[in-house]
Amino acid sequence: MNGVVCLWSKTAMSKRTVLNENYKGIVESMSIPAEIHERNGKKYASVGSILPIHCCPPEELERRAESTHHYCGVFTDELLAPLEELAYVRLDENTAEKVFINRAKRILIVSSDGHLAQWRCAPTFESANRYIAGTPIVDQRGGVISVVVAKKNNHYAVSSFEGEGGYFESTQNWKVVEPAAGGYAYGELTFPSRTALREHVAGLRGGAGAWGDAVPVLRGGTSPRLALVLDGRQLAHYYLHNVIVDVEYL
């Protein structure tokens, strides 16, 4: 594979997995298969059984959730290849961009499949190309490492088993809460004082509903955190450090 840094024009490519026609970065000749789909006017890609969870049609969601290996944000029936220092991101059926994996700059991704609410502080790669969701990311041997799910500016998350992460057993979707100025956080709520927080907790009823009804909560801001909330009671609380939480799902 011969790599060059260039702006490469591809004006008549039907199977591009980028939105820009002029390819940027280190472009190499490499054949990576992918299928291009469109749902609600938005394009996304899949490779074999691998596709982003948030792109999965509702009628397939429950079926896929039963059989998938659990990578945050990604449905797959096969184990993905391990993450290396370099990766190749598909541009079209004949070319790919060579990128470097950055394990220091991490993006938090979350996903819900009706069974598990997952989260992962994922490594990233930087690219000026505008990839669509589901774009395959492979190693130099062509093994699929992951697919594009989310980004922050030019930094794309690479979902794998690497990085801090976990899951809650929950049928509910993630609830994203914008941080309130000051106060004390509890679940999805913010209280003006510790006394008000204690009064709230003391007033919660003793019995709890079904565990599967617990709501996973992501709180953003300068001190991001995760919580699991059931009937107003915070069952779990997890602080996050050195990770970007304000991301765009593609």
Say yes or no: 158 and 192 in one domain: no
Final residue in a domain of this structure, among 110, 136, 169: 169
Residue 69: exposed, middle, or buried by beta-carbon count in 10 A (0-12, 13-18, 19+)? Answer: middle
Residue in the structure block whose two tokens are 């690479």: 158
Q: Is residue 160 part of a domain?
A: yes
Can you give the C-alpha Rg of the chain in angstroms? 20
Q: Give me the sign of the Cα torsion angle 41, 148, 68, 110.
A: negative
Residue type at position 203 = G
N- to C-terminal Cα distance for the chain? 29
Say yes or no: 31 and 93 in one domain: yes
Confidence of residue 33 (pLDDT cuts 50, 70, 90): very high
pLDDT of residue 207: 55
Q: Which of 67, 186, 72, 184 is nearest to 123 (CA)?
A: 72
Rounded Cα distance between 242 and 250, Å, is 22
Rounded Cα distance between 170 and 114, Å, is 7
Q: What average pLDDT does range 158-164 have in this prediction?
A: 90
pLDDT of residue 134: 96
Say yes or no: 189 and 146 in one domain: no
Q: How many domains does the chain have?
A: 2
Number of neighbouring beta carbons within 10 Å of residue 190: 17
Confidence of residue 66 (pLDDT cuts 50, 70, 90): confident
- Which of the listed ranges 73-82, 208-217, 222-231 does the model predict with the highest average pLDDT? 73-82
Say yes or no: 154 and 210 in one domain: no
Q: What average pLDDT does range 150-166 have in this prediction?
A: 93
Q: What average pLDDT does range 59-63 have in this prediction?
A: 85
pLDDT at 12 over 50: no
Q: Which residue has the higher pLDDT, 195 or 210?
A: 195
Q: What average pLDDT does range 149-170 have in this prediction?
A: 92
pLDDT digits (tens, 9 = 90+) for 120-143: 999 999 999 999 999 999 999 999
DSSP for 52-113 reads: EGGGS-HHHHHHHHHH---BTTEE-SSPPPPP-SEEEEESSSSEEEEEE-EEEEEEEEEEE-
pLDDT of residue 92: 94
pLDDT of residue 4: 44
Confidence of residue 208 (pLDDT cuts 50, 70, 90): low
Say yes or no: 195 and 156 in one domain: no
Q: Which of 40, 116, 38, 118 is nearest to 73 (CA)?
A: 118
Say yes or no: 149 and 190 in one domain: no
pLDDT of residue 76: 93
Rounded Cα distance between 65 and 209, Å, is 23
Confidence of residue 60 (pLDDT cuts 50, 70, 90): confident
The token duo for 109 is: 């991704």
Rounded Cα distance between 119 and 91, Å, is 27
Say yes or no: 70 and 182 in one domain: no
Q: Is residue 162 part of a domain?
A: yes
Final residue in a domain of this structure, among 169, 194, 222: 169
pLDDT of residue 11: 34
Q: Which residue has the higher pLDDT, 41 or 85?
A: 85
Rounded Cα distance between 150 and 153, Å, is 10
Q: What average pLDDT does range 231-247 have in this prediction?
A: 87
Q: Do residues 77 and 61 touch, judged by C-beta distance below 8 A?
A: no
Q: Which residue has the higher pLDDT, 122 or 198?
A: 122
pLDDT of residue 104: 94
Q: What average pLDDT does range 93-116 have in this prediction?
A: 94
pLDDT of residue 206: 59
Q: Is residue 250 part of a domain?
A: no
pLDDT at 111 over 90: yes
